[in-house]
């Protein structure tokens, strides 16, 4: 993944955490709540290095409520999910969440008023949809698709695709490579070290 795509994924990870706590048209609810997250980033009271941790905390609250960590983890591990015990799955979900946060939080905070345009939503099956949008920055358009799932009458994000690069697929490839030679416990140990070193 090149640096440009990685940076854009950082912005997107923040944006996709902003889905609503109720069911409705996916496009409308994504757009509405992305604006809520953007308001955190644009809040003049949260400017400057001194407010950085406060801003992070506010974004984490939205993320924790709206992002489907289990669905993201399950789809990332794919067939390897069944190799993990219930306890190992639970730990993986928590560790993977921390890895993602570390990878993208600083890029999220580097958001500088890029324009975001929402185009359309496409049904992808029962309780599944894809919301297509674009980030317009420096005269360039970067296509973004949010993949959402409805569970218990709540829409949540389980994947995002930026310029044809899927967040889930990217990490799936990495983890499949590790699990082809190692056990679930060894992967967890690797993630523990990664989180510990953050």
Q: Quick one: pLDDT at residue 13?
A: 58
Given a contact cutoff of 8 angstroms between Cβ atoms, the answer to whether 123 and 147 are in contact is no
Q: Which residue did the predictor score with more confidence, 197 or 54?
A: 54
Domain CATH code at residue 52? 3.10.450.710
Helices (H), strands (E): how many in the chain? 7, 5
Q: Which of 28, 8, 61, 49 is nearest to 170 (CA)?
A: 8
Number of domains in the chain: 1
Model pLDDT for residues 104-145, shown as the tens digit of each residue: 776 777 777 778 889 989 999 889 999 999 988 887 888 988
For residue 39, count other CB atoms closer than 10 A to its CB. Answer: 11
Model pLDDT for residues 76-85, shown as the tens digit of each residue: 999 999 999 9
pTM flag (> 0.85)? no
Given a contact cutoff of 8 angstroms between Cβ atoms, the answer to whether 32 and 19 are in contact is no
Model pLDDT for residues 16-41, shown as the tens digit of each residue: 544 444 445 888 777 777 777 788 88
Structural domain for 119, as ranges: 3-196
């Amino acid at each position: 993944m090149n640096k440009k795509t990685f940076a854009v994924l950082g912005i997107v990870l923040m944006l996709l955490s902003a889905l609503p706590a109720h069911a409705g048209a996916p496009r409308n609810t994504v757009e509405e709540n992305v604006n809520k997250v953007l308001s955190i980033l644009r809040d003049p009271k949260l400017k400057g290095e001194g407010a950085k941790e406060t801003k992070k905390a506010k974004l984490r609250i939205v993320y924790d409520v709206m992002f489907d960590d289990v669905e993201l983890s399950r789809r990332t591990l794919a067939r390897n999910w069944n190799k993990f015990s219930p306890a190992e799955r639970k730990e993986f979900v928590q560790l993977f969440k921390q890895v993602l946060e570390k990878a993208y939080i600083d890029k999220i905070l580097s958001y500088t008023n890029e324009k975001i345009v929402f185009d359309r939503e496409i049904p992808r099956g029962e309780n599944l949809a894809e919301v297509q949008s674009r980030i317009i920055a420096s005269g360039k358009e970067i296509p973004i698709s949010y993949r959402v799932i409805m569970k218990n009458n709540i829409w949540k994000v389980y994947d995002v695709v930026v310029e044809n690069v899927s967040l889930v697929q990217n990490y799936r490839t990495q983890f499949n490579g590790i699990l082809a030679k190692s056990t679930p416990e060894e992967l967890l140990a690797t993630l523990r070290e990664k989180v510990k070193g953050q």
